[in-house]
Structure 1
Amino acid sequence: MAAADDPTGPRAGADAHSRPLFDGSGFGDEDASAADAEALLVGLNNEQRTAVTTDGLPLAIHAGAGSGKTRVLTHRIAWRTLTGRDDPRRVLALTFTRKAASELRTRLRRLGMRDQVAAGTFHAVALAQLRTWWHETDQREPDLLDRKMGIIGPLIPRDKRSTAALDVVAEIEWAKARRIRPEAYAALAEEAGRTPPFPTPTVARIYADYEEAKDQRNLVDFDDLLGRCRHALATDKRFAAAQRWRFRHLYVDEFQDVNPLQFDLLAGWLDGRGDLCAVGDPDQAIYGWNGADADHLVRFATHFPGATVLELRQNYRSTPQVLRAATGVLLGRDPMVANRDRGPDPVLEGHADEHAEAKAIAGRARTVRGPNGRWRDQAVLVRTNAQTEPLVDAFRAAGIPIRTRAGSGLLDRSDVKVQLTQLGRTDQALSKLVGDLRATTTREPDNAPTGPIDGPEPKGDGGHDAGSGDTGRAAAFAELSRLADEYLALEPSGSGKAFVAWVKAQARSVADDPTDAVEVATFHAAKGLEWPTVHVAGLEQGFVPIAHAKGSDAQDEERRLLYVALTRAEDRLFCTWADQRTFGQRTANRRPSPWLADLQTAIAGLERPVGRSEGARRAREMADRTRRATLPDHPVVTALREFRSAAAKAANVPPYVVFSDATLGDLIDRWPTEAEGLLAVHGIGPTKADRHGVGILAVLAAHDRPEAADPPANDSPSMARTASKTPTTSTGDSPLHDRLRAWRTERARVADVPPYRVFNNTTLDALAEARPTDVDGLLAVPGIGHRKVEDFGAELLALLADG
C-alpha cells in the first residue's frame, strides 16, 4: 500500500529536500528571508504556485486526483507562515482521518515547521475543545460511546437484529450528519429517498429511544461531539472567543466530504471571518450516502461571497492511458492533463465465475511482480467487503501474501489495549507519561504484556496478516507515540485518561503496516491511496453501480466512486468481472457493469502519440495498424461484426464484451487459422478462445484475406509481447523439439485442455533455442511466468538437460 503522496513537477521538488527549507522557529522570525519563501515554490507548476501564494480568502482549491493536493496545502501553510501572513501557533488544519492529519504534520515538519501547527479530525478537535469547556464550567464529563450497537441492538426486534441493526445505525448517522432530529426523521428520510430496513416512523422511534438512552447514561457518540461543540460555541461567548483566538487560520482537507453538521461547526469556528482555505475534488465526492454534501465545495462562492476559487488540473500520478480511461466513466468531463509518459492500455477481462476471476487476478499479480518486484506495489479493489472472500482464498492458495483493511487496526492489538488501559486509569498529565510510552516503543517484545484484556486477539490472514511479530509491535507502539504527540499539540495539559478517549475518537484502524503484501480493499477504503498496479474486480451490474443506488444523485456518486478506484493506478490497470457469482447457496448469472462501455470507449479512443521520438514512432505504428485494420467495406469485417452481435445477444452482454473493434482489426491483421493463433490476437485470451474460437475461425475460413491487411511489424520493442505470440508452425525438427511436443501433448491430456493451453509453439521454439538451465532462465522465455514454472519447471529443466 502507498499513501498518495501527490508527486508534482520535478520529482526533486522542495518537499523532497533532506533538510528543512527553513528553521520554522516561529511567527515573525527575523531570519526568515525572501529566499526561504521562494525556495518553497521550487518545483511547483503555475497552478500550484498560484494556489500557494494567492492572498484571496476565503479560498477553495479544486484539486483533481494526483494533482498535488497535499503538497499545495502544506506549502501554502508553510509559505504563509514564513511570509508573516499566518501565525503557525494559530493554524488549525482539519482532516477526515487521523492518518491524513499525521501525514500533513509530517510534511510540515519536513518543511521545517516542527510541531507548531495543530492538525486533527473534526471529531478529535471538537473533543479536545469540549473537554476544556466541561472542565471550565464544572460539568460532569460524559463517557464516549464508541459502539452504537450496544444501545441500538436491544431496541430492534430480536429476529431482525442480525440483518437490520447496521442499517439502522447508518440511518441514524446520516440523520445526525444532516442535523435531523428524531421527530423530523420520517418526513425528511422519505423526501431524500432513503431506504431504511423498517418504516421511517419505526426508525424515528428507535432513533429517539437511542438518544434518550444515551442521556440517561451520560454518554455521547462521535456525532454528538460536533453538535455539542457547536452548541458550546453558540452559548458561551467566553469559550467561543478563546477558541477563535487560538485558531485563527483554518485549513480543511477533502472539503467535498464535509457534511452539514461539520459545516455548521466550521461556521462556528470562523464566526464570519474569511480566513479559510478549503481543498477538495468534486469528482471524488463519494460519501453522500453518509450525509456528506459536495455542494459546500461546488458552490463555495455562494456559501462564502467574495471567495477565490482555483483549480489544479495537472495530474502527476497516472499514465495518460489510466487517466483517460478513468475519466471516461465521468460523463461529459474533460480529463486532467497527464504529466507522465504513456503506459500500457488498461485491460478489460471477463471470467466464468468469481473463483476463476480471483484465480486469474492472483496469477496476473504474480506475473506483474516478476522475480524482483514488491507485492505491496499492487492492490485489488472491490465495491463491497463481501466480494473479498474468493480473492483472499485465491491469493492464499497461490502463496501470495495479502492484507485487507479489516482486522489490522491499532486498537485491536492486545498489547496496545494494555497500554491504553493503564493510561486511561490516570488523571496525570500525558506530557509526564510520554517518556514511558516512548520507552515502551523500543522495549523488547518479551517484556511487554501479552495477555488479552477483553477477548482473544483477532486472527490474521493465514500467516500473511499485517503487522504480526516484533516489527508489527514496534510499528504499533511508534504509532501510539505519534498519536500522543498529536494530542499534546491540540491539548498540551491533557491527561492520560483524556488521551485514551481522544484516541477512540480517531480512526479505529490507524496502524501503518510495512508488510510486503498485496492490498485487498473496497473502493471507499482505497481513497487517498495509490499503487503502481491496480486490479479492479467485480465490475458487474449490481456492484457497479451498487443495486441500491436509486436516482440520478446516487448513480452519479457511484460513477465518481468507480473513478476514484480507477485513479488509484499509477501504471497498470486491470478491470475484471464474472459471468456467474454465488451468493450463499444461490448461483446467479451476472451482467458486466453498464459503465464498462464508457470505459471501453475511452480506451479505444486513447491518444497514443506522446511527443517523444521513439515513443511517438511506436505509437504511430500502432495507430497505423488500427487504421489498416478498420475495413468497414470488406465482407469479412461485416461477417465478424454479425458473429459478435449474435454471440453478445446469446450471452446477454454488450458486443464489446465478446471482442472490441481493435480486436477485430487485429484478427484481420493476423488472420489466424488455428486455435493457437487466436491467442496471439490482442484482446483474445484462453477464455475467449474457448468460447468463441470455433466461430471466429469459421468466419475467417469462409472469406478471402484482404490484400491490404499486412502482417504487423515485429521490430518495435513496445510490441515485443504481442510479437512473441505471433502464430507460427514450429520449424524445429530436432529431437528436443519432438520431446517437447510429446511432453506438451501428455501434459494437455492429463489436464484435459488443448495443448496450446500448456505452451504454444512459439514458447516451445524459444525453449528449444534458449535451453535454460535454471528457473531464472525459464522465466526469461516468452510465455513462461511464475505459475508455469511452479507447475512445469522441474519437468522442463530435466527434459532440457537430457536434450
Structure 2
Amino acid sequence: MTDPDQLLEALDPDQRAVAEQLTGPVCVLAGAGTGKTRAVTYRIAHGVHSGVYNPQTVLAVTFTARAAGEMRTRLRDLGVPGVQARTFHAAALRQLSYFWPSAIGGGVPRIMEHKAPLIGEAAGRLGLSVDRLAIRDLAAEVEWAKVSLVTADDYPRAAAATDRSGVAGFDPTTIARLLSVYEDAKTDRNVIDFEDVLLLTVGILAERADVAERVRRQYRHFVVDEFQDVSPLQHRLLELWLGGRDDLCVVGDAAQTIYSFTGATPRYLTDFSRRYPEATVVRLVRDYRSTPQVVSLANSVLAGAGRFRSAASVELQAQRPSGPAVRFVAHDDDEAEASAVAARAAELIRSGVPAAEIAVLYRTNGQSEAYEQALSRAGIGYLVRGGERFFSRKEVRDAVVLLRGAVRSQGETPLPDAVRDVLTSAGWAPEAPAARGAVRERWESLNALVQLADDLYAARQADMGELVAELTERAAAQHAPTVDGVTLASFHAAKGLEWDAVFLVGVSDGLLPISMAETEDAVAEERRLLYVGITRAREHLELSFARSRNAGGRGTRRPSRFLDGIWPSDERPARRRRGKAARAEALASSLTLEDADPEVFDRLRTWRAATAQSLDRPAFTVLHDSTLVAIAAARPTHMRQLAILRGIGPTKLEAYGAEILAVVRDDGGSEGPGDGA
C-alpha cells in the first residue's frame, strides 16, 4: 500500500495544494507547462490510497483520447488502475450503450463517421446548390448549433447574437431549415451523429430519474480537464452527472481558449467561483516545460491582450535553467522560409535533438505543403498531424496481429528483443531506410511500436501480453505512440502537445491574426493561439515570416501585430516615402540618446513605466528605448509625425498615440479632435 503522505513529496507546493484538497468544489487555474496532469493524477491517487475515494467511483474527463490515455497510464503507474479516464464522448457513449436497451429499447443506432453525405442530401431536399467546401462549412455549423444547445427554431436568433450570419453564403433562416431537414434525414436512416451521443445521453439522464440515480451512485468524484473548452452541451451533461452535488475538480487556463468557433466557452471556468462561492481556487504558475526565454515571450504576448486578458489566466514563472535565445527571422518569400526552416531543423538534428522532438506549427493547414517539400528535399522524415490515424494504417494493423500471435511464444526473451524479432518479419529494420515517402512512413510506424515496447519494458518489465493489451487500449482510445519524424501541425492541432524545438512559421498579419478575424473577440482568440504555439516549445523556439508570398514579389507583409514591441527589428512593409517623411524615417533609424531631448525622454520613460504597470506587462512591450529616443528627438506634435517614427506601428499609434503627444507637449492633456488632421 502506497503511503499517501510520501506520495505527495513528489509535488511542488501548489501542486500539493491541489492533491490535498480531496473534496470539491476545486478550481485549478493551470498555466501551460505547470504540471496540471501531474497535480490531478496525484490528487486522485492520494484520494484512493488514503481511502477517501473508491477508484471505481472516480470519473476523470479530458478532451482528447490521447490525454485520457496518458492519464490512465499515469494513474496505473501510481497504483490506481481502476479509475475511469475518458473523453466526454467516450464516457457518454459507454453510458448510452448500457442504458439504451432498457430506457429506449433495441440497440443504439449506428453512429455516422461523417456528416457530409447527409448534409448534402438535406441541402438537395431544400433545393440548395452546395459544393464540397460549402458542405464542410455547413457541417461545422450543424456541430456548433448542437453543442451550443441551439435548435433549428432558435438558430436565427442565436446566429444574430453571435455574428454567425452568412455561413457558406446562406442566410440564418435557410440554415435553420437545413438543421431541421438534416435531423429528418438521420431519422429516416436510423443513424446518429457524434453530437447526438451527448444529446441522447443528456436526454435519458434528464427524463429517467432511475437511470440518473444509477449513474450518480456509480460516479461520486469528478475531475474535468481543459475546462476552458467546455461547450454548453458538455456542461449540461456534467450537471446531470453531478445531480446537484459539488464534488468536482476543474482544471483550465483561460489563456488557452482557442476553440470558441466550435462552441467552446471559457465562461464556465471564469464563473466557477461565482457558481461555487465556497470553491477552493489554486493557481499553478511554475512552468517546468519551457526555458525562461520561451516563458518570457509567452508572458509578453499574453500581456498585450490588455482588457481581453482574463483574470483566470496566469503569469508563468520559469523553473528551467536559461536556454538559447528565441529566434526571430524574416525571409524574402514563402519558399525561402520553408527551406530555411528545414535547414535549421537539420542543424538541430545534427546537434542531437531527435526529429520527433521538433515541430513546425502554422495557422492554416494549407501552409503545410511547402514544409513537406522542404523537409523531403532535406532528407528529413516528417508526419502531418491530422492525417491517417495511426492504428488505421495497414502496417500497424498487421503488426498488431503478429504481436498478438507471439504472446504465447515469447518464452524468456525480453520484450524489446521479442518485438524486434516479430516486426523484422513485417519489414522493420534497425536502421531507417534512405527512401522517403510511403517506405519511410511504414518504417516509422513499425519503429514506433518498437519504441513503445522499450518504454513499457523499462517502466514495468512488461511482457508481450501486456504490450498487446496496451495496444488494444490505445487503439480504442486512438492514443498513438510517438512516430520518429518532424511534426507538421496547425496551432490548433498542437494544443496539449510539446516538443524540444518549435518553429512558428508565417507569423504575419493576415495569417496571425488571420484576416477572417474581424471582431475584437476574434482577434483576442488569435493572440491566445500564438500564446499556445509559443508554449509548446521546451528549449528552442523560432518565429518567422516571409515578406512576400512569391520569389521576387513585393515585400508587403509585416510581423504579427501581437509581436509589436517584441520583434527585434522594424519589419514593416517597405514603402516609397518621399520628402520630409523619408528624411524623418532615415533620421529615426540612426538616432542615439545624445540626439534626444533629455526632458522629453525622461517624461516618456516615466509615462511608459506607469503604462506598463497599469497593464501588468514589461515596459519594453509598450515601447522600446530606441522608440522613446526617436520620439524625444523628433518631438512630434501631430499623429502623422508620430506615425512615421521607427517602432510606431498602427497598433501602437491607436493605443498610445494621443498619450504620447500629450507627454511630448507636457500639458497633461490629450490630443484635441483637430490634431493630426
Relative to 1, partners in 2 of residues 1:385 and 1:461: Cα closer, same or farther, differing over 3 Å?
A: farther
Q: Which of 179, 185, 189 is the equivalent residue of 1:217?
A: 189
1:376 aligned partner: 356
Deviation at 1:190, TM superposition (A): 2.0
2:503 aligned partner: 535
Deviation at 1:159, TM superposition (A): 5.8
CA deviation string 1:625-670 (max 9, x = no partner): xxxx9941159xxxxxxxxxxxxxxxxxxxx9xxx978999xxxxx
2:334 aligned partner: 354
1:304 and 1:663 map into 2 onto residues whose CA distance is 47
Whether the aligned pair in 1 keeps the contact of 2:63 and 2:226 (CA below 8 Å) is yes
Relative to 1, partners in 2 of residues 1:543 and 1:61: Cα closer, same or farther, differing over 3 Å?
A: same
2:494 aligned partner: 526
Matched, 1:69 2:36: yes
Matched, 1:324 2:296: yes
Instruction: Report the AA paired with residue 325 of structure 2.
Output: D
Matched, 1:233 2:205: yes
Unaligned runs of 5+ in 1: 1-21, 24-35, 423-433, 449-458, 487-499, 604-628, 636-655, 666-803
Instruction: Report the AA paired with residue 321 of structure 1.
Output: Q
**Greater C-alpha radius of gyration:** 1
Instruction: Report the AA paired with residue 220 of structure 1.
Output: I
Deviation at 1:350, TM superposition (A): 1.0
1:254 and 1:521 map into 2 onto residues whose CA distance is 20
Matched, 1:175 2:145: yes
RMSD: 3.5
Deviation at 1:75, TM superposition (A): 0.4
Whether the aligned pair in 1 keeps the contact of 2:404 and 2:468 (CA below 8 Å) is no
Matches within 5 A, 1:114-263: 115-137=81-103, 138-156=105-123, 160-194=130-164, 195-197=166-168, 198-263=170-235
Matched, 1:633 2:594: yes
Deviation at 1:71, TM superposition (A): 0.4
Relative to 1, partners in 2 of residues 1:316 and 1:602: Cα closer, same or farther, differing over 3 Å?
A: farther
2:72 aligned partner: 105
Whether the aligned pair in 2 keeps the contact of 1:466 and 1:472 (CA below 8 Å) is no
Whether the aligned pair in 2 keeps the contact of 1:479 and 1:511 (CA below 8 Å) is no
1:465 aligned partner: 441
Deviation at 1:419, TM superposition (A): 11
Matches within 5 A, 1:78-93: 78-93=45-60
Whether the aligned pair in 1 keeps the contact of 2:20 and 2:46 (CA below 8 Å) is yes
Whether the aligned pair in 1 keeps the contact of 2:395 and 2:442 (CA below 8 Å) is no
Residue 359 of structure 2: SS of its match in structure 1?
Answer: strand
CA deviation string 1:427-452 (max 9, x = no partner): xxxxxxx987978996946999xxxx
Relative to 1, partners in 2 of residues 1:176 and 1:418: Cα closer, same or farther, differing over 3 Å?
A: farther
Whether the aligned pair in 2 keeps the contact of 1:539 and 1:575 (CA below 8 Å) is yes
Instruction: Report the AA paired with residue 77 of structure 2.
Output: R
Residue 465 of structure 1: SS of its match in structure 2?
Answer: helix
2:42 and 2:34 map into 1 onto residues whose CA distance is 14
1:385 and 1:592 map into 2 onto residues whose CA distance is 20
1:250 and 1:356 map into 2 onto residues whose CA distance is 50
2:458 aligned partner: none
Relative to 1, partners in 2 of residues 1:55 and 1:246: Cα closer, same or farther, differing over 3 Å?
A: closer
Deviation at 1:548, TM superposition (A): 1.4
Relative to 1, partners in 2 of residues 1:144 and 1:460: Cα closer, same or farther, differing over 3 Å?
A: farther
Matched, 1:407 2:387: yes
Residue 249 of structure 2: SS of its match in structure 1?
Answer: strand
CA deviation string 1:335-374 (max 9, x = no partner): 3111122222212111111100001111111222335432
2:294 and 2:471 map into 1 onto residues whose CA distance is 36
Instruction: Report the AA paired with residue 334 of structure 2.
Output: E
Matched, 1:49 2:16: yes
1:273 aligned partner: 245
Whether the aligned pair in 1 keeps the contact of 2:110 and 2:190 (CA below 8 Å) is yes
2:406 and 2:157 map into 1 onto residues whose CA distance is 50
1:301 and 1:408 map into 2 onto residues whose CA distance is 41
Deviation at 1:182, TM superposition (A): 1.4
Residue 59 of structure 2: SS of its match in structure 1?
Answer: strand
Matched, 1:314 2:294: no
1:602 and 1:632 map into 2 onto residues whose CA distance is 18
Q: Which of 462, 479, 483 is the equivalent residue of 1:514?
A: 483
Relative to 1, partners in 2 of residues 1:183 and 1:480: Cα closer, same or farther, differing over 3 Å?
A: farther
Q: Which of 524, 545, 558 is the equivalent residue of 2:513?
A: 545
Whether the aligned pair in 1 keeps the contact of 2:21 and 2:43 (CA below 8 Å) is no
1:391 aligned partner: 371
Matched, 1:576 2:544: yes
Instruction: Report the AA paired with residue 141 of structure 2.
Output: E
Moved more, 49-58 or 102-111: 49-58
User: What is the identity percentage for the equivalent residue pairs of Structure 1 and Structure 2?
Assistant: 38
Instruction: Report the AA paired with residue 317 of structure 2.
Output: V
CA deviation string 1:2-50 (max 9, x = no partner): xxxxxxxxxxxxxxxxxxxx45xxxxxxxxxxxx111111132211111
CA deviation string 1:446-480 (max 9, x = no partner): 999xxxxxxxxxx9845443764643577699998
Residue 395 of structure 1: SS of its match in structure 2?
Answer: helix
1:592 aligned partner: 559
Relative to 1, partners in 2 of residues 1:521 and 1:598: Cα closer, same or farther, differing over 3 Å?
A: farther
Instruction: Report the AA paired with residue 482 of structure 1.
Output: E
Whether the aligned pair in 1 keeps the contact of 2:379 and 2:436 (CA below 8 Å) is no
Residue 572 of structure 1: SS of its match in structure 2?
Answer: strand
Relative to 1, partners in 2 of residues 1:285 and 1:602: Cα closer, same or farther, differing over 3 Å?
A: farther
1:88 and 1:255 map into 2 onto residues whose CA distance is 22
Q: TM-score scaled to structure 1, two decimals?
A: 0.62
Residue 594 of structure 2: SS of its match in structure 1?
Answer: coil
Q: TM-score scaled to structure 2, two decimals?
A: 0.73
Whether the aligned pair in 1 keeps the contact of 2:376 and 2:436 (CA below 8 Å) is no
Relative to 1, partners in 2 of residues 1:92 and 1:360: Cα closer, same or farther, differing over 3 Å?
A: same
Relative to 1, partners in 2 of residues 1:378 and 1:470: Cα closer, same or farther, differing over 3 Å?
A: closer
Relative to 1, partners in 2 of residues 1:221 and 1:103: Cα closer, same or farther, differing over 3 Å?
A: same
Matches within 5 A, 1:495-514: 503=476, 510-514=479-483
